[in-house]
Structure 1
């Protein structure tokens, strides 16, 4: 109740002081990639993100009565351009959204100096989960080691044991693609399965004949894919061509894009993707987007895209950011929060089932909460399967076994801090706090 009182007091204060005290906007730039080899996946994500804030601005006047400027700075997924965009936008931004693990790694040390939170939903450097060490970075609501944990759990449940199995790890030869390797290597030793890393270079994404020749030769029991953009469509097409059993082919959440599977249609049936989001065209939020954004001619999307996984995920991502903004506004009693206050807000998100319903996101994201020590939330997710026409849920809500790699997170975070010393940490943050 005190939070609402604070916001009400802030509104009265603004009215008393006149227009000088009235907030103008919250600048939350997005380092977008609507061009380049990853555009096919970037466009629906950016459309979902943009449409959610356009809806809030039109329906509610923004968040807490202040509009959000979600301006895009085009990177083409280039790390160099991404850093340029960060430098260009950081002056008045309350957050940066790098949209590439490579860009995230480059701006990570910069944000500690500039004191701007990174919001990297479901991507970035996995040890960013350690909020004490990475006090300005958030990979909410689920990280890459969470994804690897859930995929291995799913395979264990299917087989009873992974002892003696061979798992090919088909991955983009890029920081993003290499992210789950520390955990996969650890689990390969513990569960006694053979891990076969197969990298795909940026220039090989659309022609993976060499990689799939190796897969045919090695005959792995499963192929786990950490792909992105054109790589996903290339891999799925090759798998169909080589008659690899699609039911044994599983991707991370960035390899679960409807458009990639529609290329092969029914031949792709059985392909799976772990996911921390799910599209629900019947969710109330989608009706509001239709009313306030699409019908008003403000959207760049289309009905087919809006029904897909990636557009829905973009909506959820902006909803997470909006929740962080609202939490900060309530705590500090001001509408026009700054970057430091948003960091507090992102550390105090509590997406309960009830709150998800209130936001109209029914069935689109699992519950999760963040804290100063936990910058990921570890929401878990669902295993999705392509049925020949669309992705459907084939599991109940799954949770990662974070106890399995909590020490790995701590060790890798400590290594990073030592390698980048002096590295400021949040000494006021207690583990579990």
Structure 2
């Protein structure tokens, strides 16, 4: 659809909006975590998400003429509180954003009953990519298995993995264990030794035992699946033990600017895979700054705005907003239902041209979704800490689609069988 066609469609949708709908808005709750051990990473993400929606309300009157009722329910990253927040916010919601793999796994069985889409951008349960099995769950634009694949492909560019030892330093939590099925499969096929090193929630800030093991085992690479306080603890220990930073690569949640600022130049060479990138010159950033930040409607700071996590939060809300737009156009009405939004999230087509039109140039790779593909598998960049900031250290790297797809199908069917009766849509082919 061209820019002018979209503008005309938006105008038509806006004309259909009634006063009741205008008053209620599109209910898009966010199960946020601005408190607790993960707050340092949660705050910039939540700020980016909230600011993008506030910008759309200020600039466009919302989406399709209806204001966006974007609000937070604080979970502190607690699975128990997250489930409480889900139940508390679901009555009028068109989407749920669980913001934790643990919460996502608890909410997932409820989706077939409540029929509210889960949007878990870049997190959650990797097999959710299989739309035949997980009708209401989306983890666009990349899954954790995609991320592990991209990291291994990047390492292979530096030499054969065969005979190497790869330490997997991970949070001892559903999030940290997510990539293990893929990594174990690749260790067997590629002939490298995988050394899992779990970090308990109470050990995040004191990882002396884990890094003693790293020193003893002398791995060729450390892949870090960290989050919150674990990231800073691991990076500080790596510097202290003089582990080569260019041999340490993290998932996108382990690429937080503030964590690396703690070690500054000593962290130079550390890398993180990412499906987002901050671009302060992108048109959307100018709109957010003018209409939200300068207007005193934001909780962010100039330094945070330039960071990886703030821009990622912004991109996540842009993905949701695009799903709403596509749903409105398909339904022919602005006041969409959760089922309408599910259709929209299944029919995203964020081409480079569309990303440019949205003002998101350079901030997220192009991707599309379908009935069967609820992730998009967009590919990602390797970011490298240059001593002061993250810079792109690679072109876009695509995940190993065929092997991941086979694993997704197997694990999705395994989940469905373990949770029978579970509806499977065999008609969903593409």
Smaller-chain TM-score range?
over 0.9
* Distance in 2 (alpha carbons) for counterparts of 1:80 and 1:22: 33
CA offsets per residue over residues 121-153 of structure 1, 9 Å max, x none?
Answer: 000000000001000000000000000100000
CA distance in 1, matches of 2:55, 2:66: 13
C-alpha distance in 1 between matches for 2:281 and 2:12: 37
Q: Is the contact made by 1:266 and 1:389 (CA closer than 8 Å) also made in structure 2?
A: yes
Question: Unpaired segments of 5 or more residues in structure 2?
Answer: none
Q: Which residue of 2 aligns with 1:274?
A: 273
Shift of 1:13: 4.6
Partner of 2:97, secondary structure, is coil
CA contact (8 A) 1:9 1:333 kept: no
- Within 5 Å, give how 1:234-313 maps onto structure 2: 234-313=233-312
- In the TM superposition, residue 427 of structure 1 has moved relative to its aligned partner by 3.8
1:261-299 deviation digits (Å, cap 9, x = unpaired)? 000000000000000000011111110001000111000
| Structure 1 runs, 4 residues or longer, greater than 2 Å off | 1-14, 18-24, 425-428
Distance 1:222 1:20 in 2: 57
Look up the match of 2:325: 326
Following TM superposition, by how much is the alpha carbon of 1:11 offset from its aligned partner in structure 2, in angstroms? Answer: 4.4
How much has 1:111 moved relative to structure 2?
Answer: 1.4
C-alpha separation between the residues in 2 aligned to 1:265 and 1:21?
50
Q: Report the equivalent of 1:33.
A: 33
Can you list the C-alpha shifts for 1:299-335, whole angstroms capped at 9, x where unaligned? 0000001100000000000000000000000001111
The whole-number CA distance in structure 2 between the counterparts of 1:111 and 1:90 is: 11
User: d(CA) in 1 for partners of 2:134 and 2:340?
Assistant: 16
Q: Match of 1:168?
A: 167
Indicate the SS of the match to 1:405: helix
Work out whether 1:341 is the aligned partner of 2:343: no
Q: For 1:47, what is the secondary structure of its paired residue?
A: helix
Residues 72-123 of structure 1 show CA distances to partners (whole Å, capped at 9, x for unaligned) of 0000000000000000000000000000000000000011110000000000
What does residue 42 of structure 2 align with?
A: 42
The whole-number CA distance in structure 1 between the counterparts of 2:335 and 2:19 is 13
Distance (whole Å) between structure 2 residues aligned to residue 286 and residue 213 of structure 1: 43
Could you tell me the TM-score, scaled by structure 2's length?
0.97
Per-residue deviation, 1:70: 1.1
Secondary structure of the residue aligned to 1:410 is: helix
Is this contact kept in 1: 2:112–2:136, CA < 8 A? yes
How many angstroms apart in 1 are the aligned matches of 2:284 and 2:261?
A: 26
- How far, CA to CA, are the matches of 2:30 and 2:111 in structure 1? 15
Query: Are 1:6 and 1:333, in contact at CA under 8 Å, matched by a contact in 2?
Result: no
Question: Within 1, Cα distance between the matches of 2:148 and 2:25?
Answer: 39
CA RMSD of aligned residues (A): 1.4
Instruction: Report the equivalent of 1:362.
Output: 361
Unaligned runs of 5+ in 1: none
TM-score, normalisation: structure 1: 0.96
Aligned partners of 1:23 and 1:336 also within 8 Å: no
Are 2:16 and 2:334, in contact at CA under 8 Å, matched by a contact in 1? no
Who is 2:399 aligned against?
Answer: 400
CA distance in 2, matches of 1:254, 1:113: 31
SS of the residue aligned with 2:425? Answer: coil
